[in-house]
Structure 1
Amino acid sequence: MALSTTAFSNMVQILCLTLCSLTLLCSAFTSQDYSEALEKSILFFEGQRSGKLPSNQRLTWRADSGLSDGSSYHVDLVGGYYDAGDNVKFGLPMAFTTTLLAWSVIEFGNSMHNEIENARAAIKWSTDYLLKAATATPDTLYVQVGDPNMDHRCWERPEDMDTPRNVYKVSAQNPGSDVAAETAAALAAASIVFKDSNPSYSTKLLHTAMEVFDFADRHRGSYSDSLNSVVCPFYCSYSGYHDELLWGASWIHTASQNSTYLAYIMSNGHTLGADDDDYSFSWDDKRAGTKVLLSKGFLEKSTEALQLYKAHSDNYICSLMPGTSSFQAQYTPGGLFYKASESNLQYVTSTAFLLLTYAKYLSSNDGVATCGGSTVKAENLISQAKKQVDYVLGNNPAKMSYMVGFGERYPQHVHHRGSSLPSIHAHPDHIACNNGFQYLNSGSPNPNILVGAIVGGPDSKDNFSDDRNNYQQSEPATYINAPFVGALAFFSS
């Protein structure tokens, strides 16, 4: 019996929907869209650069800044990144950003194609600075340039900075195991990135990582206690330093395959948080990321000592997956992972990255995540990550991209000094500390487009206020972008 046109059409629709769910082919975005977003997500880091800009600088509204950083302390601390919309160089989020950029390249660099060199350049801009900060003085790590309390009283371009460029450090007497171990993680992860393209640099990174980790472990303490109001409440180490010690050791083990670090993980893991289930991954709390990283050793080599990390990775992953017995994450009505009212997209991008990385580890080793009596496959994790990535790029109730410069609608009033003030090329005269506030409070769009920046994002009800003064939603940050680089690389292929 011949099928009617309607019945045939319905069959085709059902077949298409089935194919979509099986292969993730149905998408608001094409691989070209993801490639464009990948390019822009890396370009963003050029807008955050401090120091002497290179001749191939692409965001040309920026210019040199912070060229005397460290000089009054007889140390060279020129370079590195401003963390967000201000002009301070905070060591803890900068190091975490670097670790996540490096991890993005390690896992998904093969999908970056033309962008791999730009990704490496973004990492090296940070590691060059972190190397200086780590090696300038024995048993000392320089962890911050700029007084945040003074900086936040001004609204001025980095090129015009006249606020105090105080330098802060951790040492044997004033320890900072959290920031030091994260710095060690960043240098170790980056050493893997440069192993083939720049072997001598890679060796230097790994050697320094080991020294900085040893310093972090020997002189234990939180940098929040040592530096107090200079780092709190801005980047206070709320989770303590145990998670960073385990994270740092895990990265050095991954980079060096030195059994000493595996022994350290085995003997110290239980006291450093291996048994804790924490359900967020951020510049402050590394536990979920550490477990996913270490699970690879169990999945690939059946290293019995690492089975614990596979089990806890499953716990983390299952908490994110609706329908499992362990599900406990919160999502907005539009489907966005929701963790905090301030800068929520940092948790979205880091979660998407861990979902994809764990999916890669599972699918390479015929593994599944065990959620009570049920199992979750790699493709389920990819599907969940894709929803988050697509939401950020514009597939959301507001039909708005939260990446600046991507899509037809994106934030115009970004909480970012350099982007919101006229460029030094357009307005060469100095704009003093207080004179910049007219631009902060202006209703006009930012004159300089901070291409690729991902802002803090919408609230728990999917509402977003494109307002420069609403920094909780409109401020970008390096650590929001860093894991998204890896996620975009995955989908671009």
Structure 2
Amino acid sequence: MFYVLFLISTALAQLSLPATPYLPPDPSFATQQAPVNLHWSSTLGNLLWFYEAQRSGDLPTTNRVSWRNDSATLDGQDVGVDLSGGYYDAGDYRKYTFPMSFSLMSICWGAITFGKGYDASNQTVYLDDMLRWGLDWLVKAHSSSNTLYVQIGDTNLEDAYWGGDKDIPTPRPSYKIDDSHPGTDAAAQASAAFSACSALYSNIKLSSNSNPASLTNSTYAATLLSHAQQLYSFATNTTQQVYQKAVPSVGEAYASSDYRDELAIAGLFLAVASNSSETYAQATDVYSSSKLSQLITKEGSEQVFNWDSKTPGAAILGAQITKALPSLVSGSPSNVNFTSDAEAYVQIVTGGHGRGAFTDGGLLYYSGDSDEASLNPALNAAMLVAHFTTSVTDPSSANYTHQLAFTQSQLNYVLGNNPMTMPYIVGMHPNSPVNPHSASATGASPQDIANLDTVPAQERYVLYGAVVGGPDKDDKYWDMRSDWVQSEVALDYNAPLLSLVAYTIANETMASQDPWYTRLEVGSYQKVRPKGYPCDAAVRQGCKNRGFSRTGKIVMAVIVTVVGLIVVGMGSYWLFLAYRSGSGTVKA
């Protein structure tokens, strides 16, 4: 029996971490001369390091974040299930399955298409470590075939606490979906995460131009696939509804708008992982019957890709499958053309023709979706375009060059080519944000949530690799700890940038130049930092007497001009009529 257990544990074993671990370099490293890929590799390494700083539970001996402690080790005790471990979602200490599953799916997908980037930068071992920490917890959260825990922690208690990880408030209730309280979207999204990562560990290719990261482990892949299949069955065979109807608590932070997009992308990833044309046909049927195509191919109606909205990703993934795995496609409904839909979406996004428009500084901005965490919609769009460019677009075409330029422009914006001259990655450069909205990194002791911006005056720890929410629609960033709209950190904020940096390292054309932040003048952000306060959902001081934006001023000028012309025209016409009626004499 012991020998059997030994064989199983050996088969499931992850890659061995190096004796000398990668540690984020001092931000001043960004200003030094170094081989091109060394800066890119450091960027990738820092982005992965962030996830280690977000860990919950008993930390391993290989922990690289010296200021983090074992925490929330009794999670799940209230329901008799071990739910310790996993990742804290954002700047506080709650755990949410829905956005975490999306992040894992996104990262595994990127590691399939852009795997060379991880291998070339010697970060594959840390990718493996990061993925397993999340996936192993997700396995625990999926405690039975039709049960999935979707939230750990009390919203009200968490919102009132801003201290370290040793005194996280309790109780930490566990919330689940099951047969009696189903959540189609959450179950399908978790299935998609398991399937995407199973495909990665199975070394399945989605592009003839690239290889997955070197993580092949058939035993672990089979474990993930089993959970994916059970959750997909749960999502498709129980009453279909958004999960906040079953668990209202999750709606306060991560309410889902629909479940059909999750069903579509979950089916596609499961088809890839299980090599099932039947599952592929089910996914295309959902995509077709739900008319998801209209949500990405019609200018002005196209959706973003994020933790809530998966339709653009389904089209891009479908296009990859069509080209790389044609055996799955044969026999499926002919009324679905993923490649055509994906191409239409890419054209809209890269041209800024639809809902998304470019700010003066060049960031793709979706009014509404980008009002909080503005970088995320742009980075996710750039990541999807990178998938399409690598897997589908002809490298000799003008479209390839155009798509490459778009992706690079959004990446460069985040890395410092923006009006704030700031790389929006903590600890990457001396100009990087220094006040991310993170309770653990703030290190306030005792905690003082009433004075978030001043206690302590300087954050005690550097949250290396954390991507912050980003600037407002006018490209302004205040770097305020309390302004969670701009300074929040989260699992899904880092996910697309990981894939984009791996893509860059794998692309010789893009990797031939250092990251944009190496060109920045140290201290230049302080010269352009906005005065006053922002005006957003977190900070209202800047809303008083706030003038029009540049776009608003242009619109107002046009309106005033048009109204003026109408008034002049009407006045002239009245004079003409008066002249005629008075035989040439204007009457008083």
Which residue of 1 is the match for residue 3 of structure 2? none
Distance (Å, rounded) in 2 between the aligned partners of 1:53 and 1:391: 35
Question: Is residue 263–residue 286 contact of structure 2 (8 Å, CA) maintained in 1?
Answer: no
Counterpart of 2:283, as a letter, is I
Distance (Å, rounded) in 2 between the aligned partners of 1:366 and 1:411: 37
Whether 1:292 and 2:292 are equivalent positions in the alignment is no
Which residue of 2 is the match for residue 246 of structure 1? 264
From 219, 234, 258, the equivalent of 1:200 is 219
Could you say what the CA RMSD is over the residues aligned between the two structures, in angstroms?
A: 2.0
- 3-state SS in 1 of match to 2:134: helix
After TM superposition, give the deviation of residue 441 of structure 1 in Å. Answer: 4.0
Measured at CA, do residues 301 and 98 of structure 1 come closer, stay the same or move farther in structure 2, by a change above 3 Å? closer
Measured at CA, do residues 440 and 421 of structure 1 come closer, stay the same or move farther in structure 2, by a change above 3 Å? farther
From 91, 95, 101, the equivalent of 2:97 is 91
Distance (Å, rounded) in 1 between the aligned partners of 2:282 and 2:125: 34
Which residue of 2 is the match for residue 450 of structure 1? 463
From 488, 494, 502, the equivalent of 1:481 is 494
Distance (Å, rounded) in 2 between the aligned partners of 1:343 and 1:35: 25
Which residue of 2 is the match for residue 221 of structure 1? 241
Counterpart of 2:390, as a letter, is K
1:139-197, Cα deviation, whole Å (9 max, x unpaired): 21111100122211211223311232100000111111111100000011111222253
Counterpart of 1:177, as a letter, is T
Question: Is residue 143–residue 169 contact of structure 1 (8 Å, CA) maintained in 2?
Answer: yes
From 111, 114, 117, the equivalent of 1:111 is 117
From 340, 347, 361, the equivalent of 1:318 is 347
- 3-state SS in 1 of match to 2:246: helix
Whether 1:335 and 2:362 are equivalent positions in the alignment is yes
Measured at CA, do residues 246 and 48 of structure 1 come closer, stay the same or move farther in structure 2, by a change above 3 Å? same
Question: Is residue 456–residue 475 contact of structure 1 (8 Å, CA) maintained in 2?
Answer: yes
After TM superposition, give the deviation of residue 331 of structure 1 in Å. Answer: 1.2
- 3-state SS in 2 of match to 1:142: strand
- 3-state SS in 1 of match to 2:475: coil
Question: Is residue 145–residue 234 contact of structure 2 (8 Å, CA) maintained in 1?
Answer: no
Question: Is residue 111–residue 489 contact of structure 1 (8 Å, CA) maintained in 2?
Answer: yes
Whether 1:462 and 2:468 are equivalent positions in the alignment is no
**Gapped runs of 5+ residues in structure 2?**
1-34, 203-214, 297-301, 507-588
Question: Is residue 402–residue 457 contact of structure 1 (8 Å, CA) maintained in 2?
Answer: yes
Measured at CA, do residues 266 and 362 of structure 1 come closer, stay the same or move farther in structure 2, by a change above 3 Å? closer
User: What is the 5 A alignment of 1:367-382?
Assistant: 377-382=399-404
Measured at CA, do residues 55 and 443 of structure 1 come closer, stay the same or move farther in structure 2, by a change above 3 Å? closer
Counterpart of 1:474, as a letter, is S
Of structures 1 and 2, the larger Rg is shown by: 2
Aligned residues: 443
- 3-state SS in 1 of match to 2:148: strand
Whether 1:168 and 2:175 are equivalent positions in the alignment is yes
Counterpart of 2:433, as a letter, is P
User: What is the 5 A alignment of 1:26-175?
Assistant: 30-113=36-119, 114-134=122-142, 136-175=143-182
**Gapped runs of 5+ residues in structure 1?**
1-28, 369-375
Question: Is residue 96–residue 186 contact of structure 1 (8 Å, CA) maintained in 2?
Answer: yes
1:395-443, Cα deviation, whole Å (9 max, x unpaired): 2111111100112201111111000015xxxx7xxx4xx6454455436
Question: Is residue 50–residue 64 contact of structure 1 (8 Å, CA) maintained in 2?
Answer: yes
1:309-352, Cα deviation, whole Å (9 max, x unpaired): 111111211111238xx555211101011121111111122112
Measured at CA, do residues 127 and 351 of structure 1 come closer, stay the same or move farther in structure 2, by a change above 3 Å? same
Whether 1:266 and 2:266 are equivalent positions in the alignment is no
Which residue of 2 is the match for residue 419 of structure 1? 441
Distance (Å, rounded) in 1 between the aligned partners of 2:448 and 2:430: 32
Question: Is residue 448–residue 455 contact of structure 2 (8 Å, CA) maintained in 1?
Answer: no
Question: Is residue 201–residue 221 contact of structure 2 (8 Å, CA) maintained in 1?
Answer: yes
1:42-82, Cα deviation, whole Å (9 max, x unpaired): 11101111111111111211111110000121001011111
Which residue of 2 is the match for residue 23 of structure 1? none
1:352-390, Cα deviation, whole Å (9 max, x unpaired): 211111101124x6697xxxxxxx622221211111111
Which residue of 2 is the match for residue 24 of structure 1? none
Counterpart of 2:55, as a letter, is R
Distance (Å, rounded) in 2 between the aligned partners of 1:38 and 1:414: 19
- 3-state SS in 2 of match to 1:154: coil
Distance (Å, rounded) in 2 between the aligned partners of 1:384 and 1:42: 24
Distance (Å, rounded) in 2 between the aligned partners of 1:102 and 1:39: 16
Question: Is residue 120–residue 193 contact of structure 1 (8 Å, CA) maintained in 2?
Answer: no
Question: Is residue 421–residue 439 contact of structure 1 (8 Å, CA) maintained in 2?
Answer: no
Greater displacement, 294-303 / 156-165: 294-303
Which residue of 1 is the match for residue 552 of structure 2? none
Distance (Å, rounded) in 2 between the aligned partners of 1:157 and 1:389: 33
Counterpart of 2:357, as a letter, is Q
Q: Percent identity?
A: 30
